[in-house]
Chain A
Amino acid sequence: MAKVLVVTSGKGGVGKTTSTAALGAALAQAGQSVVVIDFDVGLRNLDLVMGAERRVVFDLINVVQGVAKLSQALIRDKRLENLWLIPASQTRDKDALTDEGVRRVINELRTKFDWILCDSPAGIERGATLAMRYADEAVIVTNPEVSSVRDSDRIIGMLDSKTAKAERGERVEKHLLVTRYDASRASRGEMLSIDDILEILATPLLGIIPESQDVLRASNVGCPVTLNSTTSAPARAYMDAVRRLMGETVPMTVPVERKGLMNRLLRRRAA
């Protein structure tokens, strides 16, 4: 049965789009049929991160408004044949999305795919509420930083009250994905630890994505990190997260600093 998963955060710039692309690709790499939808109307970027920016003809708004058929807006990934993208519109604003239109599109996609990943825009307005509206599950992307954790808490409240599932008295299954985790800063007590975040947000952990050059490099070339550098630490973390989404039990390892004591002393002196 198809699963609708919203990737959300409240705060901008924490890695929603990067994570949507990486999770979508990793699910497809695991043999699932996947569509990723960009809900950030007016500021689309999922197409760019996926390397499909020059292939956009029709978008989500066109389909919602009945101007284009769903099949016309679906862009197939060049690398993975079971990975598809529906881009957002760059020229309209978020009011062009309607609740009824989104419901219709999601219901149609449910018949065609195993996974429907909705990349939410930042904020708590229409775009964000519609992205989560018909979700079965949610990935809340959080950085180990106060403003991000606060906004995640707010979004968790919305997932529990404003989604179609919540209104039916059911629960949207929530997963916490901590991104940009810097092990050395956390060990020095300069960054909220995983335990701190879990205690504050009381939401099950889906994965910890370490801060890494590989993530930026993947965005630069328009290729999800799980495809671009398969063996890198962030790629492995995303792949583990996806196995957990599919119901496997995968042990969680908190990234640790690999440097020795002498290195740390030297680096501190240099800094």
Chain B
Amino acid sequence: MMNLLRLIGGRSGSAPVARERLQILLAHERGVGGSGAPELLEMLRSEILAVVSKHVDLDPEKVVVKMDRGKFVSMLEVDIEVPNATQRSKLVAAT
């Protein structure tokens, strides 16, 4: 069935996954101004994680810091997913 779908649909291999992973990774690495920026974003991310974690339990993987470069201004986007009570107990149980 997979083979048949592939034949008809064309693209359903691993390339779309590769493409998505790269886009996310490079958005991280590019940062503000060329090289040197990956460190800045990683620093921001770990410090933000440390501060918020003092007060709320977080899954470190759900803290995303992105920088979108624009011609005149850049946008620093901080996306923190806070688990609700039931998910939190699951998280605690898992660890």
Using a CB–CB distance below 8 Å, which chain A residues touch chain B?
145-146, 149-150, 153-154, 157-158, 160-162, 186-193, 196, 200, 264-265, 268
Contacts and interface: CB of A to CB of B under 8 A. Distances in A.
B34 A189 contact: no
A138 to B, nearest CB: 14
Contact of B35 (A157, A186, A190, A200): A157
B26 A150 contact: yes
Contacts of A200: 19, 22-23, 26
Contacts of A187: 10
Interface residues of B, number: 22
Contacts of B15: 186, 189-193, 196
Nearest to A144: B15
B19 A162 contact: no
Contact of A158 (B11, B30, B35): B35
B13 A162 contact: no
Contact of B22 (A149, A160, A186, A188): A149
B91 to A, nearest CB: 30
Nearest to A124: B35
Interface of B: 3, 6-7, 10-16, 18-19, 21-23, 25-26, 29-30, 33-35
A146 to B, nearest CB: 5
B34 A157 contact: yes
B25 A150 contact: yes
Contacts of A268: 3
Q: Which 5 A-B pairs have the closest CB atoms?
A: A189-B13, A189-B11, A190-B13, A157-B34, A161-B34
Given A153-B29, A154-B29, A196-B15, A189 B6 contact: yes
A249 B28 CA distance: 35
Contacts of B29: 150, 153-154
Contacts of A162: 35
A200 B33 CA distance: 17
A71 to B, nearest CB: 37
B10 A189 contact: yes
B46 to A, nearest CB: 21
26 contacts: A145-B18, A146-B18, A150-B29, A153-B26, A154-B29, A157-B30, A157-B35, A158-B35, A160-B34, A161-B33, A186-B15, A188-B6, A189-B6, A189-B10, A189-B12, A189-B15, A190-B14, A192-B15, A192-B18, A192-B19, A192-B22, A193-B11, A193-B15, A196-B19, A200-B22, A200-B23
B70 to A, nearest CB: 14
A146 B17 CA distance: 10
Given A150-B26, A188-B13, A189-B10, 14 more contacts: A150-B25, A153-B30, A154-B29, A157-B35, A158-B34, A161-B34, A162-B35, A186-B15, A187-B10, A189-B13, A191-B13, A192-B15, A192-B18, A200-B22
